[in-house]
Amino acid sequence: MSVYIICPMCEQGRVVTYRVKATGEVLQCCDECDSTWDVGAELSATEFGFIEDFLRERGLDPFGDELENVEGP
């Protein structure tokens, strides 16, 4: 049985841990609304970012294959 965290922003998606392939950075991201948090940060509806901005700030394509799921399928 898998346990997962519901996104505090959209309350529909689940928060998944991903690794950025190019940099090795690890972050948490909602699989529905793309809200992001640092790993270990409190998941909050007031302190968050978006994956598109996170990747653009690093010069990466926000619509490319930049992330890998570190939790498995």
Per domain, the residue ranges of the chain are: 5-69
Residue 45 pLDDT grade (very low, low, confident, very high; cuts 50, 70, 90): confident
Per-residue pLDDT at 3? 79
d(CA 10, CA 72): 23
For the chain, helix, strand, coil in percent to 5 are 10, 30, 60
pLDDT for the residue 2: 65
CA 7, CA 44: separation in Å to the nearest integer? 9
Task: Answer whether residue 27 shows pLDDT above 60.
Answer: yes
The distance of Cα 50 from the centroid of its chain, to the nearest Å, equals 8
Please state the rounded mean pLDDT for residues 62-70.
91
